[in-house]
Amino acid sequence: MNTFSLNTRQGAQEFTVSGDYGYVRLNDQQICERGHFTGSTVQCAPADLERVARNWWRASLRNERAN
């Protein structure tokens, strides 16, 4: 299992992906496109985990501000 920790104002957020290509999870909760937890699930290779995690987190913050 590959992990990437992102330090945020809410504390450390741990993104994980298992295997050569799989679903991305944040703190053991599966994430979906555009910063949501419901919808089309996000998948990536371990090499792309940092980029995917940062992009998803930015989208999640935009969603929080919009609501």
Does 53 score more than 90 pLDDT? yes
Whether 55 is covered by a domain: the verdict is yes
Total number of domains constituting the chain? 1
* Residue 21's pLDDT band (cuts 50, 70, 90): very high
Answer whether residue 18 is part of any domain.
yes
Q: What is the mean pLDDT of residues 25-44?
A: 96
Range of the domain at 49: 2-62
Residue 67 forms part of a structural domain:
no
pTM for the structure as a whole: 0.93
Residue 51 lies in a domain: yes
Tell me what percent of the residues of the chain surpass a pLDDT of 90. Answer: 94
Residue 31 lies inside a defined structural domain of this protein: yes
Non-local (6+) Cβ contacts of 12 within 8 A are 5, 6
**What long-range pairs does 3-11 form, CB within 8 A, spacing at least 24?**
3/49, 4/49, 4/50, 4/53, 6/53, 6/54, 6/57, 8/57
Q: Nearest CA to 2 among 15, 13, 11? A: 15
